[in-house]
Amino acid sequence: MKKTHKVILTTVIATLFVALILANFAGTEKKVETVIPHLYSIDDPQFMRAMGLMLGPAIIDGNKAQELIDGDQIFPAMLDAIKSAKKTVLFETYIYWSGEIGQQFADALSERAKAGVKVHVLLDWIGSAKADSAMISKMTDAGVEVEKYHPLRWYNLGRMNNRTHRKLLIVDGKVGFTGGVGIATEWTGHAQDPDHWRDSHFRVEGPVVAQMQSVMLDNWAKTTGRVLHGADYFPPLAAVGTQSAQMFASSPNGGSESMLMMYLLAITAATRSIDLSSAYFVPDEITRKALVMAIKRGVKVRIITPGEHMDAETVRRASRGLWGELLEAGAEMYEYQPTMYHCKVMIVDGILTSVGSTNFDVRSFRLNDEANLNIYDKAFAERQTQVFANDLKRAKRITYESWQARPMVARLHERFWSLFGALL
């Protein structure tokens, strides 16, 4: 009888475990399953209406975004902005680890809180697991409000796979930062060796910063139940530049498919070029089809992904296993050689540039909370195309012939891990 009870108990536990896994990877919303038809180009006013009215927040004029390349440019700019804060600092990030750079941020945030600035920090529970508790305590003791996104709780088990992957810093409601960088030693330096990663981040001013603030405050309210508002958070914002922009966000809790739809709509509207920098490139069937159809329309598609220096080898194998139809169609695939390539940038037809936290994979499109800044400006796109071209100089092209000639063991590994693309 005892043996029977053990079998029953084991079966119940196994069933609950499987149910938990399914709850974390299955959504309640219908998935986008058909390729969006090509009806207009990026420079057609109808495209702007679709992006600003059908999919996302309004596209706002009068902004100025500046690219920051690697930690040597990124971190000083972010820290300077925090140190200049007069009223509010809001900071949401996935990776926040211990180390010198983590301590510098903790010190800067703590100093501003002690000076009376309202400082709110939202850290992903999993992404900040390597943050020393003493460093967090130093901030809270100074008056910084530090919250964790989806911590391990019995009532959160069904959402454990929903992480905030957003990277947002907003100071005084006037200056914003977003991009791919995490707060860890790996992002310091200037991509000079495998221990210092290549990444891009962006400093933003203008009316679109209010949208960035709204995205951050939405997750803050979901986490704390408190609504932050008023002039300290949303001051009047005058035009400071000539760029049109919108802050696009997605979450499984509300519009999990919206980021995917934004990418698909941009790819489908392309008529000339798509340059994609992707740290984790594991496209599902519908995104691969959209890229292939773009190539068949005459669009030049270039994609840079990490090479041998990658923090997740299983993702690299899964990615390479899916390149066949893209390479055969004519996509140019490149692997960055010097270090881990963590950029997340898409440039379409030299007009639209989308930057932020989103990777080109199912996790970003359907499971994570993500945020991307879309900038509609030819001059900005031209600068990012030059950055892309500089990265190409340090990347190795993978041709269809060389991809076909890879060893059988590599093929088997890639095939195996590509089956788990949605889980990586």
Active site residue 30: no
Please state the rounded mean pLDDT for residues 314-321.
Answer: 88
Which pTM was predicted? 0.90
Three-state secondary structure call for residue 349: coil
User: Which one from 64, 120, 309, 344 is the annotated catalytic residue?
Assistant: 344
Q: What is the pLDDT of residue 100?
A: 97
Percent residues over pLDDT 90 in the chain: 75
The confidence band for 420, taking pLDDT boundaries of 50, 70 and 90, is low
* pLDDT exceeds 80 at position 26: no
* pLDDT exceeds 60 at position 3: no
User: Which one from 167, 174, 201, 309 is the annotated catalytic residue?
Assistant: 167
In whole angstroms, give the CA distance from residue 101 to residue 222: 28
Between residues 56 and 303, which one has the greater pLDDT? 303
* pLDDT exceeds 70 at position 256: no
In whole angstroms, give the CA distance from residue 216 to residue 219: 6
Q: What is the pLDDT of residue 158?
A: 54
The confidence band for 422, taking pLDDT boundaries of 50, 70 and 90, is low
**Tell me: the pLDDT tens digits for 267-282?**
999 999 999 999 999 9
Residue 68 tokens read as 């920051």
Active site residue 229: no
In whole angstroms, give the CA distance from residue 48 to residue 244: 10
Strand partners, 183: 96
* H-run or E-run covering 274: strand 273-278
Active site residue 196: no
User: Which one from 70, 124, 172, 391 is the annotated catalytic residue?
Assistant: 172
Q: Strand 243-250 relative to strand 273-278: parallel, antiparallel, unpaired?
A: unpaired
Residue 308 tokens read as 């041998």
Q: What is the pLDDT of residue 272?
A: 98
* pLDDT exceeds 60 at position 12: no
**Tell me: the pLDDT tens digits for 30-73?**
555 667 889 999 999 999 999 998 887 999 999 999 999 999 99
User: Which one from 199, 275, 284, 349 is the annotated catalytic residue?
Assistant: 349
Between residues 187 and 27, which one has the greater pLDDT? 187
What are the DSSP calls for 308-344, one per residue? S--S-HHHHHHHHTT-HHHHHHT-EEEEE-SS-B--E
User: Which one from 64, 150, 165, 413 is the annotated catalytic residue?
Assistant: 165
Active site residue 284: no
Active site residue 342: yes
Instruction: Find, among 88, 97, 170, the residue nearest to 135 by Cα.
Output: 97
The answer to whether domain 30-423 has CATH 3.30.870.10 is: yes
User: Which one from 342, 369, 377, 413 is the annotated catalytic residue?
Assistant: 342
Residue owning tokens 């089809």: 289
Percent residues over pLDDT 70 in the chain: 87
Active site residue 2: no
Between residues 157 and 316, which one has the greater pLDDT? 316
For the chain, what is the mean pLDDT?
Answer: 89
